[in-house]
Amino acid sequence: MGEAIKNRYEFILLFDVKDGNPNGDPDAGNLPRIDPETGNGLVTDVCLKRKVRNYVGLVKGEQPPYEIYVKEKAVLNRAHERAYKAYDLKPEAKKLPKKEEDAKRVTGWMCQNFFDIRTFGAVMSTEINAGQVRGPVQFGFGRSVDRIFTGEHTITRMAVTKEEDLEKERTMGRKFTIPYGLYKVHGFISAPLAKQTGFTEDDLELFWKALINMFDHDRSAARGEMAPQKLIVFKHESELGNAPAQKLFGLVNVEKNCGERPPRSFDDYTVSIDNAPEKVEILEML
């Protein structure tokens, strides 16, 4: 593993969706998530992290040091067991090793081998306790620039599940889409926390690639036309930072240019970026 990153970063990711559902809410019949007071669409941080994990697992083949900890059908305690076995330690139910050095080894092993732990952190205090890690990379919720409209569509299925249902009418169902939405998400990367987890420059480069490419490997009927449109990165000269994050986010302006007509593509918006303060570099990666 290389050296941990030495600079603080913030970033803005602009992504859009056309005739799809970027993040359905299972508690609301899979309707697109919205802010009920404003009507703006929402995409959770968990949804975006899932796509990053899936991309990294795909391109790195689930091999150390790029294994994925939180994934479909993962048994977390089995991963923790491997960390104990690496140092010939015997786990005690729900407790870390008594020696502080051994406890750090177990948690450190998890960081070294799992990309998403050293990136996003993890709570690993399960039956086989591997500690807790606070990750250097964090997302806010994605929020649409404008209000979204949710369309409801009736769908049918010609096939039946059981033979006795052959004479029944076709099965009816519903799906929900939004005609178009441009979403903006704010992200944060902490150099001091990167030191604790071992998040390196190579990890950072892989993370940027994941943000740019993750939608290309997440296609479905509901997410057929999701795409990143802009990735704007603020790189601080120091590890603690040289300007407040909220001031940097305010430098990016996204405005409609299609008049009263509802936006239907990224071309219906204009993105402008004001000058950065001293000792902060703006990188347009997309």
Q: What is the pLDDT of residues 143-172, one digit of tens each?
A: 999 999 998 888 887 777 777 777 776 777
Output the pLDDT for position 237.
Answer: 97
Mean pLDDT check: name the lowest of 174-183, 204-213, 231-240. Answer: 174-183
Residue 260 lies in a domain: yes
Residue 1 lies in a domain: no
**Distance, CA of 135 to CA of 199 (rounded, Å):** 9
Output the pLDDT for position 242.
Answer: 97
Residue 164 lies in a domain: no
Task: Convert the pLDDT of each residue in 84-117 to its tens digit.
Answer: 999 999 999 999 999 999 999 999 999 999 999 9
Residue 168 lies in a domain: no
pTM of the model: 0.92
Q: Which domain holds residue 25?
A: 9-153+175-284
**Distance, CA of 129 to CA of 54 (rounded, Å):** 25
Residue 53 lies in a domain: yes
Output the pLDDT for position 144.
Answer: 98
The tally of domains found in the chain comes to 1
Contacts with 265 (C-beta within 8 Å, 6 or more apart), sequence order: 16, 18, 180
Output the pLDDT for position 167.
Answer: 72
Residue 69 lies in a domain: yes
Output the pLDDT for position 156.
Answer: 82
**Alpha helices in the chain, H assignment, sequence order:** 45-60, 76-86, 100-113, 115-120, 191-197, 201-213, 245-249
Residue 202 has pLDDT above 80, yes or no: yes
Q: Which residues of 171-188 are buried (b: 16+ CB within 10 A; e: fewer)?
A: eeeeebbbebbbbbbbbb
Counting Cα atoms < 13 Å in the Cβ hemisphere of 49 gives: 22
